Amino acid sequence: MARRKRYLTAVLADGTVKTIGPTAAPFTHYWRIVAHLGGGRTDIFWGHAKSLKEATGKRIALEEAARQRGWERYDFDIVPVTESAQDPARDA
């Protein structure tokens, strides 16, 4: 039996809203890295994970990546996703 497609929405502390979907994948959390490169430049990396443990595991690799790439600093956010049957953007 095919898994039901749904939309996942993550709302970060700064108000950023990210919608993922439609998907049948069992994602529970969204993560985002804002890398501060220097000179006012930033780069953003993001993804989703199937558990909080998987998402927090990114932090270990992140510290090494920041050193290798010479980032001045970085911000790392993890938030749970909420599920809906239809695209939240269409409801707006």
Average pLDDT over residues 43-59: 93
In this prediction, residue 43 has a pLDDT band, given cuts at 50, 70 and 90, of very high
* Inter-residue contact 23 to 8 (CB < 8 Å): yes
What span, in angstroms and rounded, lies between the C-alpha atoms of 71 and 42?
9
Tell me what pLDDT residue 90 has.
Answer: 65
Q: Which helix (H) or strand (E) holds 88?
A: helix 88-91
Mean pLDDT of the chain: 89
Tell me what pLDDT residue 11 has.
Answer: 95
Tell me what pLDDT residue 3 has.
Answer: 66
